[in-house]
Chain A
Amino acid sequence: MPGWQALHEEFEAKGLTVLTVALDLEKSKAQPWVDEASPTHPSLIDPTHVIDRALGIVNVPMAVWIDETGTLVRPAEGASIEVSPLRSAEIPEETPDRLKALLTEVKKMPDTAEAYRDAIADWVEHGADSAYALTPEEVVARSQARPPEHSKAAALFELGCHLFETVGKDAAVPLWKEAHALHRENWTYKRQAWTLESTAEGEPSDLMQEVGDVYGTSWLDDVMALGGGENYVVVPTLD
């Protein structure tokens, strides 16, 4: 959040507004992060993942670029503007095996932070003439595929969120589980559901997300099942 706020401050006078959307079912979990960043940019919350359905978001952080007319010039893609400190951190020898395996996969995630940041600056400067601003046809073509099962996953996730609020978590879990199986590449459905099992009240969210008892999996197991850290991010094509 502080990074996005800094980006907003840097480019606001040049015509760019950064808009951050928290995909948090529980607002209280997002609030401390927002408070810390003291955003002057619009900071929104989307507990049922409207932007997954409307814009094709499947993980965080991801972003879309919207021009002055309300037209997308880049579809949903991995959006990182700072290199994660986890990437360069040495993995100590005594690290437990599971955590070591997880950190190894994190290091394999393609890192486009610098190029992505430069691309934003280029777009702010040159608008539609920027090489990074795509035509409407390119935007649609480069968005993720959406087979019928992804539509069902979206509906199940949303209905699960409704049951979570009205009945309780146990009512939501079977629907979320089915949603996860139908749209495996959507990490927002998984990580949101899993954190309710793996994060203790008042604790920061747990990277490991070992949720075998309820979901029969974990973050690491799912990353491996989908081909490892290399495939975790929708890498922006910036050439």
Chain B
Amino acid sequence: MLLTETTIDPAEFLTGTGWEAKPEGLCKGDMCVPAPEAVTADGQLDVETIAERLGMALVSDSESGVKALGPESGGRALTTAVVPELELTDMDGNPFKLSSLHGRKVLLVAWASW
């Protein structure tokens, strides 16, 4: 996910990465990683601490200061079989939440023009 600051609101972090800050730590699906030092005094999340704890690469553009945080690493591409809440847009530009298809089987197919 893209970032401009070194701290981030927990709700934004959840949307961007699928990881939720809970009392027991940072959680994704059924997996939790203790990270008491990741929460700042004002309830924000410290990006560098989390990046280190979860193996997320953090790169930045020196001109604009914009940063990108990669996904967790050090294991498999999937940390859990629970699908994170993904919000993409349809071809008309409307937001589409994957969770809107709960109750149905979904075959999610990646394709491209190239």
Q: Which residues of A contact B (CB under 8 A)?
A: 1, 4, 7, 15-24, 27, 29-34, 42-46, 50-51, 53-57, 60-73, 75-76, 79, 120, 123-124, 127, 136-137, 139-141, 143-148, 150-156, 158-159, 162-163, 166-167, 175, 188, 191-192, 194-195, 199, 205
Residue of B55, B78, B88, B90 touching A140 (CB-CB under 8 A): B78
Instruction: Assess the A66–B109 pair: CB atoms within 8 A.
Output: no
Chain B: residues with CB nearer than 8 A to chain A?
1-2, 18, 30, 55-61, 63-64, 66-84, 86, 88-91, 96, 98-99, 101-114
Asked if residues A156 and B59 are in contact (CB atoms below 8 Å), the reply is yes
CB <8 Å contact, B77 and A144 = yes
Q: Please, which residues of chain B bring their CB within 8 A of the CB of A163?
A: 61
A150 contact set on B, CB distance < 8 A: 70, 73, 77
CB distance from B71 to the nearest CB of A (A): 4
Known: A21-B88, A70-B82, A199-B114. A148 touches B74 (CB 8 A): yes
Known A22-B111, A151-B70, A191-B114; further 9 A-B contacts with Cβ < 8 A: A21-B110, A22-B113, A30-B112, A45-B89, A50-B86, A76-B77, A143-B76, A148-B74, A159-B60
Are B112 and A24 closer than 8 Å at their CB atoms? yes
Contacts of A71 in B (CB 8 A): 81-83
Give the Cβ gap from A52 to chain B, nearest Cβ, in Å: 8
Given contacts A42-B96, A156-B59, contact A140 B81 (CB under 8 A): yes
A59 to B16, CA, bound (A): 22
A162 touches B68 (CB 8 A): yes
Contact A188 B110 (CB under 8 A): yes
Please pick, from B2, B58, B76, B114, the residue contacting A145 in the complex, using a CB distance under 8 A.
B76
Cβ–Cβ contact B106 & A65, under 8 A = yes
B81 touches A72 (CB 8 A): yes
- Evaluate contact between B70 and A17: CB separation under 8 angstroms: no
A31–B113 alpha-carbon span in the complex (Å)? 9
The 3 closest A-B pairs by CB, nearest first: A56-B77, A151-B70, A136-B81
- Say whether, besides A70-B102, A124-B105, A23 and B110 are in contact (CB < 8 Å): yes
| B113 contacts A19, C-beta separation under 8 Å | no
Q: Which residues of B contact A16 (CB under 8 A)?
A: 104-107
Most B CB atoms within 10 A — which of A62, A75, A137, A150?
Answer: A150
Is the pair A56, B78 in contact by a Cβ cutoff of 8 Å? yes
- A144 contacts which chain B residues (CB < 8 A)? 76-77
Of B68, B80, B110, which is within 8 A of A136 by CB? B80
In the complex with contacts A45-B90, A139-B81, A146-B107 CB distance below 8 A: no
Residues of B within 8 A of A34 (CB): 91
Q: Report the Cα distance A148→B71, complex, angstroms.
A: 9
* A22–chain B nearest beta-carbon distance, Å: 6
Q: Which of chain B's residues has its CB closest to A7's CB?
A: B107
Known: A45-B90, A145-B76, A155-B58. A53 touches B70 (CB 8 A): yes
Residues on the A chain within 8 Å of B72, using CB = 146, 151
Give Cα A9–Cα B105 distance, bound, in whole angstroms.
Answer: 14
In the assembly, what is the distance between CA of A112 and CA of B91, in Å?
29
Q: Which residues of A contact B78 (CB under 8 A)?
A: 55-56, 72, 75, 139-140, 143
Q: List chain A residues, Cβ under 8 A from B75.
A: 145-146
